[in-house]
Amino acid sequence: MAENEVRETGAGQGANGRDRREAAFAAEWRNAAYSCFSSGHKFCREVCPVMQVTRNENHSPTAFHANVVAMEQGLVSVEDTARDYVHCTQCGACELRCPNTLFTGDFYRYRTRTVDVVKAMRALAVEQGVEQPAWKRWNELTDERRNEPVLGEVPVSQDHVADWAARLDLPVGGETVLFCDCEAAFHRTSLPRAVARILQAGGVEFGLMREQWCCGGPAAEMGYVDQARRFAEHNVADWRAVGARRILVLDPHDYIAFTEDYPRFFGDEFDFEIVLVVELVAELVREGKLALSRPVERTVTYHDACRLNKRKGIHEAPREILRAIPGITFKDVDHVSQWSYCSGAGGGLPIERPDLTAEISRRRVERAAELDVDTLVSACVWSERPLSEQGAAGERPVEVMDLMELVAVSAGLDDREEAA
């Protein structure tokens, strides 16, 4: 059968068994897939945190694109390949390393979009009922509780989503609203408290939402797009109801959701200013509005959050803050070298493959320990749980702290110090 005939029969339930959704998916992504498949360089493999551990070609970015080529040819189905796509943290390292992104010309016409391909394949799998059991249960619980079912001392429910803000006298609503992600709201509550106190000290006026649901980003990353959209619609409606125009975001995962997913959902109607707290705090320090005067006697290195460094190109602001903290001995690893570094905590990987997340984090902490540091500083709350677990378990213990927690200590705003 000729190639064009294969495509035509694939538009319905064709002779090769593909249904119209798989055909439409293959047609949408074929150019990017063929561009990757034809080049054959595979430079992406060694910067992929999952491939570094599994050494399984099925888990490589090249395989994710090759599957699309095979699907267009009617050789595989979603059911055949869906499990492969679990093995991606959506860190974006492969996109940076790929010549399709680096170069231009007749051959390199299509920028590599592995993250989008993975998200689209996962969405297609969910649409066709090919679901991963742990992801399915996670998103069912998120839908039920309106927040992700993270493990922590604070019960996950709307009744407790703002417990972290107790005694901080934060209003509800206003032109600027602080969005606190689920991991920080229910587990690492010291982080949002530090952020709130830092912003108050810097003269930033802000409030909280009336009813904050999960940003929906994790659901979108795991393929549950309809659920992600419903959560986005709720949050945007809440922002509009309280008069918010500017949204402050302390977590890179939320930042990705609000700057990439929400604009796709709402188009030009999404007219909010999204501000990353790390960049805002760097500005406050630079302008002298926030004084970092207390020395912090620590030897630290910085873990570049994938969604800031690789996905958004944000790497200077956190380093600027660290260099402004007196007493710190900062042993930096440049942001380009960290293209291959990851905590393994993104893209739903720790939900379906916690073993891989643990090993990826162990390797990251091991790299930090080789620098003879006592502290690994992160600006991503989701990375801090697996990194902390591995940091405490290693032969050379390394404490994991969020950058904003360090800032709070240096600014004399640390809750723990006051309690002591």
Q: How confident is the model at residue 34 (pLDDT cuts 50, 70, 90)?
A: confident
* Any domain includes 146: no
Q: Domain containing 215 — which CATH number?
A: 1.20.1050.140
254 and 294 together in one domain: no
118 and 186 together in one domain: no
Query: Does position 14 have pLDDT exceeding 60, yes or no?
Result: no
Average pLDDT over every residue of 142-168: 96
Query: Does position 12 have pLDDT exceeding 50, yes or no?
Result: no
Q: Which domain holds residue 253?
A: 155-283
Give me the pLDDT at residue 103, please. Answer: 56
Average pLDDT over every residue of 69-76: 92
250 and 328 together in one domain: no
98 and 219 together in one domain: no
* Any domain includes 362: yes
Q: How confident is the model at residue 7 (pLDDT cuts 50, 70, 90)?
A: very low
* Any domain includes 142: no
* Any domain includes 137: no
Among 33-47, 108-122, 225-239, the range of highest mean pLDDT = 225-239
Query: Does position 74 have pLDDT exceeding 50, yes or no?
Result: yes
Count how many domains the chain has: 3
- The domain boundary residue, chosen from 283, 298, 318: 283
Rg (CA), the chain: 22
Query: pLDDT digits over 335-351, tens only?
Result: 999 999 999 999 999 99
Residue 330 main-chain phi, psi, to 5 deg: -105, 115
What's the one-letter identity of residue 104? T
308 and 236 together in one domain: no
Residue 109 main-chain phi, psi, to 5 deg: -95, -20
Q: How confident is the model at residue 417 (pLDDT cuts 50, 70, 90)?
A: low
* Any domain includes 81: yes
190 and 206 together in one domain: yes
- The domain boundary residue, chosen from 115, 130, 145: 130
Query: Does position 6 have pLDDT exceeding 60, yes or no?
Result: no
| Average pLDDT across the chain, whole number | 92
Query: Does position 11 have pLDDT exceeding 60, yes or no?
Result: no
- The domain boundary residue, chosen from 237, 266, 283: 283
Give me the pLDDT at residue 18, please. Answer: 52
* Any domain includes 86: yes
234 and 336 together in one domain: no
257 and 296 together in one domain: no
What's the one-letter identity of residue 169? D
| pTM of the shown model | 0.92
Average pLDDT over every residue of 67-74: 93
334 and 400 together in one domain: yes
208 and 322 together in one domain: no
174 and 217 together in one domain: yes
Average pLDDT over every residue of 165-190: 97
Q: How confident is the model at residue 185 (pLDDT cuts 50, 70, 90)?
A: very high
295 and 411 together in one domain: yes
Query: Does position 416 have pLDDT exceeding 70, yes or no?
Result: no
* Any domain includes 149: no
Nearest to 375 by CA among 301, 310, 306: 301
* Any domain includes 136: no
